[in-house]
């Protein structure tokens, strides 16, 4: 048996490798760049590149690539080999500091939302030394940011790094006010719990909808779904266990801290959770995890589905983004401390998050908006499209006591400082029992539960970091000027609680009553992607993002367009796939079977035998045939009409209002027909086969 500690991170150019392979002065300088963002000079870069190349070649690498995250939502790479021509027809292996630091993929086909006309197609990639290089498929992958020549971000990493910097800047101001002079920087951390489905590859290959869209567009429900809750945390089948074991091993080699693997609620659904790391690394690792999940599945004759809603009638897949703020010297700013002094600081950070979520509900909703996630949010399996914060009883009561200037009884006789009650000794033992909240405090972190399974966690963390940086900025502006710090702090806390307590909700987020209550509280409820994306362009949002240096106005606009185009593109492909399947797979099968039944009915009638089954079923199928035909006509009309829209905004609304309902109607007729058909005549693998077939 191989020991994990022997191979963990063996494919990563991590701190240990750097220390071993780099000269001490080079290592020190690189470390300064990684930790403090110091500029790297070319000599150091050359030395690092040389060491990286030697290390990678020893491990069998032949190529290198700048690995980046364009706005397609997946990662991109363009491979170059290390070879350079040498005299005498030989080759030598080369890799320079320049090649490490900067790349120029042509990359003109990536979405840029009008930021980059194709005649100035050159974008460039820039090394992000805060995320380690690694080897994948014999290729040295260098995590990079992707920008236009004008410097506009064309990817998800650049704004994420900017948002982390914004949070760092504002959080340090607050820490200094509380007398902390030792922490050098503050970063956000995330741990992304990843849900997925595994299905058999042979069945997958017979479903055009899964192949083209990642989800089933047709399919009657299986007799059994998740009613018995027998899959959740259930024993793992041998084939799945073998998959998980190999997945862990591959991820560990890449330095991904894969920690927990278990079965999820729906049949065929599973989850992987890593140990958290800085948001930047967590984002890279989650992208890598999704890729490795799919590659390993292929080796096991399986397909890993990361779509938010592969199957109707059972839970879809999400991604919980566990998020906290930490200092370089190991202080978790969202963890209550032991002393009242620490509590006051904790409560200020806590309130900053509450205010951020309230002020930028719409941006958080935008950050998880995709066509796929629209199927999940608000359908009683995932949080609603309304955002609220769960705090639990104790914290809520503490905030109430600050709001009302009343002592908090739970604190007993513990001291008050800054007029802020101490937390009860038992606090924190009460774990989060609320699973229906979109944004739950869980003792030392918040868990943002609205993310879709296939989405990058970058966007959610960008908005979260930005919004919290903004609350902290407002507090720091006031507190730095205050003559009486204690009194001002008390007032800042009290006002923030009064202004933002409407966002706190500790009840059942899946209930209808909550949606009504949320409306009374004035919280925003944006069910579909075309409803929420335009909010990105609201002045208050653009101003905030601009003021913290996270996006320029141009960048916000371009992202708005790209996200909407993406939504339109996805649903348009789904509609086209449905039309094709309905016309060429489903109708022929239904028609053939109903004619056959008809003939059999006639035959039986001639022979004077009962023919009830044949007669009735063929008549019902004929009616459904007509319904499917009409459904095809209506969907085609709706899709054509949508495509004639003046702009992408209009297009997306026509899709929401006309195309999606037409898709539902077509599916409904087909799913009814499926339940009447001879199993052997149905042209597609069924839900029962797909979900229970591994």
In the three-class reduction of DSSP (H, G, I as helix; E, B as strand; rest coil), residue 620 is classed as helix
CA distances to 30, 33, 35, 44, 104 from 40, rounded to whole Å, are: 7, 6, 12, 7, 19
Shortest distance (Å) from residue 436 CB to Mg ion: 12
Name the segment binding ligand ADP (CB under 6 A); options: 34-42, 189-197, 389-397, 588-596. 189-197
Q: Can you read off the two tokens belonging to residue 330?
A: 């190991």
Name the segment binding ligand ADP (CB under 6 A); options: 187-195, 337-345, 418-426, 624-632. 187-195
Q: Is the dihedral of CA 47, 49, 52, 56 positive or negative?
A: negative
**Residue 191 contacts ligand ADP per CB under 6 A:** yes
Shortest distance (Å) from residue 281 CB to ligand ADP: 12
Provide φ and ψ at 61, rounded to 5°: -75, 140
Name 84's bridge partners: 92
**Residue 320 contacts Mg ion per CB under 5 A:** yes
Shortest distance (Å) from residue 260 CB to ligand ADP: 6
**Residue 324 contacts ligand ADP per CB under 6 A:** yes
Q: What span, in angstroms and rounded, lies between the C-alpha atoms of 615 and 603?
A: 11
Measuring CA to CA, which residue among 60, 98, 96, 66 is closest to residue 80?
Answer: 66
Shortest distance (Å) from residue 277 CB to ligand ADP: 8
Shortest distance (Å) from residue 336 CB to ligand ADP: 13
Question: Which parts of 152-198 fold into alpha helices (H)?
Answer: 157-177
**Residue 434 contacts ligand ADP per CB under 6 A:** no
Shortest distance (Å) from residue 258 CB to ligand ADP: 10
Q: Can you read off the two tokens belonging to residue 277?
A: 């790391």
- Provide the greatest CA pair distance for the chain: 103
180 vs 278, beta carbon nearer ligand ADP: 278
DSSP secondary structure, 558-604, as one string: HHHHHHHHHHHHHHHHHHHHHHHHIIIIIHHHHHHHHHHHHHHHHHH
Name the segment binding Mg ion (CB under 5 A); options: 70-78, 315-323, 579-587, 634-642. 315-323
Measuring CA to CA, which residue among 386, 380, 37, 353 is closest to residue 174?
Answer: 353
Compute how many other C-beta atoms are within 10 angstroms of the C-beta atom of residue 693: 17
Torsion from C-alpha of 281, 286, 288, 291, nearest 10 degrees: -170
**Residue 602 contacts ligand ADP per CB under 6 A:** no
Counting residues that bind Mg ion (by CB under 5 A) gives 2
391 vs 402, beta carbon nearer ligand ADP: 391
**Residue 444 contacts ligand ADP per CB under 6 A:** yes
Burial class, 646, CB count within 10 angstroms (exposed 0-12 / middle 13-18 / buried 19+)? exposed
74 vs 275, beta carbon nearer ligand ADP: 275
Among 189, 286, 327, 652, the residue binding ligand ADP under the rule CB under 6 A is: 189
Shortest distance (Å) from residue 394 CB to ligand ADP: 19
Name the segment binding Mg ion (CB under 5 A); options: 10-18, 186-194, 374-382, 594-602. 186-194
**Residue 190 contacts ligand ADP per CB under 6 A:** yes
Binding-residue pattern over the window 518 to 547 for Mg ion, x denoting contact by CB under 5 A: ------------------------------
Provide φ and ψ at 303, rounded to 5°: -125, 135
Name the segment binding ligand ADP (CB under 6 A); options: 274-282, 496-504, 565-573, 686-694. 274-282
Counting residues that bind ligand ADP (by CB under 6 A) gives 16
Among 4, 23, 85, 275, the residue binding ligand ADP under the rule CB under 6 A is: 275
Binding-residue pattern over the window 215 to 254 for ligand ADP, x denoting contact by CB under 6 A: ----------------------------------------
Report what 198 binds from Mg ion, ligand ADP, none; CB cut-off 5-8 Å by kind.
none
Among 445, 548, 651, 654, the residue binding ligand ADP under the rule CB under 6 A is: 445
Shortest distance (Å) from residue 191 CB to Mg ion: 9
Among 50, 155, 193, 264, the residue binding ligand ADP under the rule CB under 6 A is: 193
> Which residues neighbour 261 within 8 Å (Cβ) at sequence distance 6 or greater?
236, 244, 247, 248, 270, 271, 272
Shortest distance (Å) from residue 500 CB to ligand ADP: 22
Name 201's bridge partners: none
Q: Checking phi first, is residue 179 left (phi over 0); if not, alpha (psi -120 to 50) or beta? A: left
- Write out the H or E segment, with its range, that includes residue 294: helix 279-299
195 vs 342, beta carbon nearer Mg ion: 195
Shortest distance (Å) from residue 193 CB to Mg ion: 5
Report what 274 binds from ligand ADP, Mg ion, none; CB cut-off 5-8 Å by kind.
ligand ADP
97 vs 318, beta carbon nearer ligand ADP: 318
Helix axes 238-253 and 279-299, enclosed angle (nearest 10):
140
Shortest distance (Å) from residue 276 CB to ligand ADP: 3
Tell me, what DSSP letter sits at residue 193? E
> Which residues neighbour 154 within 8 Å (Cβ) at sequence distance 6 or greater?
70, 71, 110, 112, 115, 116, 123, 146, 147, 148
328 vs 397, beta carbon nearer ligand ADP: 328
131 vs 322, beta carbon nearer ligand ADP: 322
In the three-class reduction of DSSP (H, G, I as helix; E, B as strand; rest coil), residue 541 is classed as helix
**Residue 286 contacts ligand ADP per CB under 6 A:** no
Name the segment binding Mg ion (CB under 5 A); options: 185-193, 196-204, 581-589, 599-607. 185-193
**Residue 63 contacts ligand ADP per CB under 6 A:** no
Q: Nearest-CB residue to ligand ADP?
A: 191
Cα 468-474-479 angle, rounded to 5 deg: 120
- State the residue for tokens 């606009």: 557
**Residue 273 contacts ligand ADP per CB under 6 A:** yes
108 vs 444, beta carbon nearer ligand ADP: 444
Q: What span, in angstroms and rounded, lies between the C-alpha atoms of 126 and 115?
A: 18
**Residue 319 contacts Mg ion per CB under 5 A:** no
401 vs 437, beta carbon nearer Mg ion: 437
191 vs 318, beta carbon nearer ligand ADP: 191
Q: What span, in angstroms and rounded, lies between the C-alpha atoms of 458 and 600?
A: 60
Chain centroid, CA 414 distance in Å? 42
Shortest distance (Å) from residue 445 CB to Mg ion: 10
Q: What span, in angstroms and rounded, lies between the C-alpha atoms of 356 and 341?
A: 23
Among 129, 274, 383, 685, the residue binding ligand ADP under the rule CB under 6 A is: 274
270 vs 654, beta carbon nearer Mg ion: 270
- Tell me whether strands 439-441 and 389-390 are parallel, antiparallel or unpaired: parallel
**Gyration radius (Cα) of the chain, Å:** 28
CA distances to 258, 270, 343 from 297, rounded to whole Å, are: 16, 13, 47
Q: Which residues bind Mg ion (CB under 5 A)?
A: 193, 320
- The binding site for ligand ADP (CB under 6 A) comprises 189-191, 193, 260, 273-276, 320, 322-324, 332, 444-445
């Amino acid at each position: 048996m191989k020991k994990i500690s022997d191979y963990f991170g063996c494919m990563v150019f991590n701190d240990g490798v750097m220390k071993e392979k780099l000269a001490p002065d080079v290592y020190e300088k690189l470390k300064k760049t990684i930790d403090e963002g110091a500029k790297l000079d070319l000599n150091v870069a050359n030395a690092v590149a040389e060491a990286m190349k030697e290390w990678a070649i020893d491990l069998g690498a032949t190529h290198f690539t700048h690995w980046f995250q364009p706005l397609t939502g997946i990662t991109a790479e363009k491979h170059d080999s290390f070879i350079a021509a040498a005299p005498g027809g030989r080759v030598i292996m080369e890799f320079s500091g320049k090649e490490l630091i900067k790349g120029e993929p042509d990359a003109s086909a990536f979405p840029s939302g009008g930021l980059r006309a194709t005649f100035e197609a050159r974008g460039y990639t820039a090394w992000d030394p805060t995320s380690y290089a690694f080897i994948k498929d014999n290729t040295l992958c260098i995590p990079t940011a992707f920008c236009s020549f004008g410097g506009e971000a064309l990817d998800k990493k650049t704004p994420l790094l900017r948002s982390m910097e914004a949070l760092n800047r504002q959080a340090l101001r607050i820490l200094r006010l509380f007398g902390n002079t030792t922490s050098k920087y503050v970063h956000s951390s995330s741990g992304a719990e990843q849900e997925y489905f595994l299905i058999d590859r042979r069945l997958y290959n017979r479903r055009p909808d899964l192949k083209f869209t990642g989800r089933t567009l047709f399919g009657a429900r299986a007799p059994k779904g998740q009613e018995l809750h027998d899959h959740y945390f259930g024993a793992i089948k041998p084939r799945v266990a073998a998959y998980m074991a190999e997945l862990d091993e591959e991820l560990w080699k890449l330095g991904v801290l894969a920690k927990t693997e278990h079965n999820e609620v729906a049949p065929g659904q599973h989850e992987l959770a890593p140990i958290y790391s800085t948001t930047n690394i967590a984002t890279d690792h989650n992208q890598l995890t999704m890729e490795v999940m799919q590659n390993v599945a292929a080796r096991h004759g399986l397909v890993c589905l990361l779509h938010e809603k592969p199957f109707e009638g059972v839970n879809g897949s999400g991604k919980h983004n566990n998020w906290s703020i930490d200092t370089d010297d190991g202080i978790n700013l969202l963890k209550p401390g032991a002393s009242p002094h620490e509590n006051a600081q904790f409560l200020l950070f806590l309130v900053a998050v509450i205010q951020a979520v309230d002020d930028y509900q719409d941006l958080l909703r935008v950050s998880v908006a995709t066509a796929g996630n629209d199927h999940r949010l608000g359908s009683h399996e995932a949080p609603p499209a309304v955002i609220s914060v769960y705090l639990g009883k104790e914290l809520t009561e503490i905030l109430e006591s600050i709001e009302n200037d009343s002592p908090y009884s739970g604190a007993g006789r513990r001291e008050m400082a800054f007029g802020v009650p101490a937390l009860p000794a038992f606090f924190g033992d009460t774990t989060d029992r609320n699973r229906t909240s979109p944004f739950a405090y869980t003792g030392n972190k918040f868990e943002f539960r609205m993310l879709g399974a296939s989405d990058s966690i970058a966007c959610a963390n960008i908005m979260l970091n930005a919004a919290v940086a903004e609350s902290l900025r407002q507090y720091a502006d006031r507190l730095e000027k205050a003559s009486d710090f204690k009194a001002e702090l008390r007032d800042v806390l009290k006002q923030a609680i009064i202004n933002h307590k409407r966002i706190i909700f500790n009840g059942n987020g899946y209930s209808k009553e909550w949606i009504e209550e949320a409306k009374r509280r004035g919280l925003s409820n944006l069910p579909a992607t075309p409803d929420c994306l335009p909010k990105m362009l609201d002045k208050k949002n653009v101003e905030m993002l601009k003021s913290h240096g996270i996006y320029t106005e141009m960048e916000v606009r371009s992202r708005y367009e790209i996200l909407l185009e993406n939504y339109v593109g996805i649903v348009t492909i789904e509609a086209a796939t449905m039309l094709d399947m309905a016309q060429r797979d489903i109708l022929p099968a239904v028609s053939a079977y109903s004619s056959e039944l008809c003939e059999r009915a006639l035959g039986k009638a001639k022979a004077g035998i009962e023919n009830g089954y044949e007669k009735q079923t063929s008549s019902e199928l004929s009616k459904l045939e007509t319904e499917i035909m009409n459904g095809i006509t209506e969907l085609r009309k709706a899709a054509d009409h949508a495509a004639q829209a003046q702009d992408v905004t209009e297009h997306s609304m026509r899709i929401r209002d006309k195309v999606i309902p037409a898709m539902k109607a077509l599916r409904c007729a087909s799913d009814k027909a499926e339940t009447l058909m001879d199993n052997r005549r149905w042209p597609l693998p069924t839900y029962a086969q797909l979900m229970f077939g591994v």
